[in-house]
Amino acid sequence: MTSNFAWSQPASVSGTLGAVGSDTMAGLVLRWGEALSARYPDINLQFQAGGSASAPTALVAGTTRLGPMSRPMSEAERQQFIDRYGYPPLELRVAQDALVVVVHRHNPLDTLTLQQVDAIFSTSLACGAPQPIRRWSTLMTATDWPYGQIAPHGRNLASGTYGLFQEKALCNGEFRRDISEHLGSSAVIAAVGESFNAIGYAGYNHLNSMVRALRLVDEHGTAIAPDERSIQQGNYPLSRDLYLYVNLPPSESLPPVEQAFLSLIFSDAGQQIVKAAGFVPLPKRLRDAQRQRL
């Protein structure tokens, strides 16, 4: 693995590598940490997965230098950082992902428009649907299964997945209040996989055989399935980037521990870990662009 690191690193690096942020990215960050420790045994990773919303708070407070987020930092969060330090946080894309809408594996539903997704999960209908969708019979004929009320599942407010789904799938509208909220995408997948009448949204990397990800209709009327190709190309309507925000003062260099971590992330080995964790590796052009930012 060490031969695949993109940047030359000292023979020995030691210290504590701290990070606070996305629970969606927790498994990925820990895998990177394990790979880094395999090369540098004296590096200790301490990661607190409090959700993407916890990353800007920790960065502003100075309790961490690294903040993984599964959504872009908001303008308000960015401004709080600038007000504290006098310069913006460094934004790095580290992997690609998608939000997927899932149903029980035996559910015959195959495709939804974004208007239908909004009508299922929201009350405000900001994407333009004529009325809410609350029953399966609205989406399928009476002879189809399932029957009765649609049981929606999603993430909690602290999650970047929650915020991004609200922005992209609900057109910044309001979630319906009876959604069953879960702390992680894996819990959403488990809940939908156990209930015939359930539907939910979660991160692409959590897909398993208990559920099916629906195709979503893009702006051209084409139904797109979430897969590595459609996510990398940005064709799947709910594609997203995963970010690492860094407190790096202008004209200064990161400490050796953080340098080694970022070297791993953008190396071939680091992006192989991205794929092994169920996410989508960065195309080479994006990886090179992130290196240039450093």
Do 235 and 103 share a structural domain? yes
The sign of the dihedral angle between the CA atoms of 137, 142, 146, 148 is positive
Q: CA dihedral defined by 137, 138, 144, 145, rounded to 10 degrees?
A: -60
Do 265 and 146 share a structural domain? no
Do 166 and 110 share a structural domain? yes
Containing structural domain, residue 218: 97-239
pLDDT at residue 294 is higher than 90: no
Do 197 and 108 share a structural domain? yes
CA geometry: angle at 153 spanning 152 and 159, to 5°? 140
Can you tell me the mean pLDDT for 98-127? 96
Tell me the pLDDT tens digit for each residue of 132-170: 999 999 998 766 677 799 999 999 998 889 999 999 999
Do 270 and 208 share a structural domain? no
The sign of the dihedral angle between the CA atoms of 184, 95, 70, 42 is positive
- Among the residue ranges 52-61, 101-110, 113-122, 135-144, the one predicted with the least confidence is 135-144
Can you tell me the mean pLDDT for 266-289? 93
What residues pair up with 48 in beta bridges, in sequence order? 20
pLDDT at residue 26 is higher than 50: yes
Q: Does residue 245 sit in helix, strand or coil?
A: strand
Last residue of a domain, one of 195, 222, 239: 239
pLDDT at residue 180 is higher than 70: yes
Query: Can you tell me the distance from the alpha carbon of 65 to that of 20, in angstroms, rounded to the nearest whole number?
Result: 9
Tell me the pLDDT tens digit for each residue of 260-277: 999 999 999 999 999 999
Q: What is the mean pLDDT of the chain?
A: 92
pLDDT for the residue 6: 46
More confident residue, 61 or 11: 61
- pTM here is 0.84
Do 172 and 78 share a structural domain? no
The count of residues in the chain is 294
- Cα atoms in the 13 Å half-sphere on the side-chain side of 189: 17
Last residue of a domain, one of 203, 218, 239: 239
User: What confidence tier does 251 reach under pLDDT thresholds 50, 70, 90?
Assistant: confident
The dihedrals phi and psi of 220, each to the nearest 5 degrees, come to -95, 5
pLDDT for the residue 160: 87
pLDDT at residue 215 is higher than 70: yes
pLDDT for the residue 140: 85
Q: Could you tell me the CATH number of the domain that includes residue 123?
A: 3.40.190.10
User: What confidence tier does 3 reach under pLDDT thresholds 50, 70, 90?
Assistant: very low
Do 119 and 14 share a structural domain? no
Query: Can you tell me the distance from the alpha carbon of 139 to that of 146, in angstroms, rounded to the nearest whole number?
Result: 10
Do 133 and 219 share a structural domain? yes
User: What confidence tier does 81 reach under pLDDT thresholds 50, 70, 90?
Assistant: very high
User: What confidence tier does 203 reach under pLDDT thresholds 50, 70, 90?
Assistant: very high
Last residue of a domain, one of 239, 257, 272: 239
User: What confidence tier does 227 reach under pLDDT thresholds 50, 70, 90?
Assistant: very high
pLDDT for the residue 2: 38
pLDDT above 90: percentage of residues in the chain: 83
Do 119 and 85 share a structural domain? no
pLDDT for the residue 142: 63
Structurally, the chain folds into a number of domains equal to 2
Do 220 and 249 share a structural domain? no
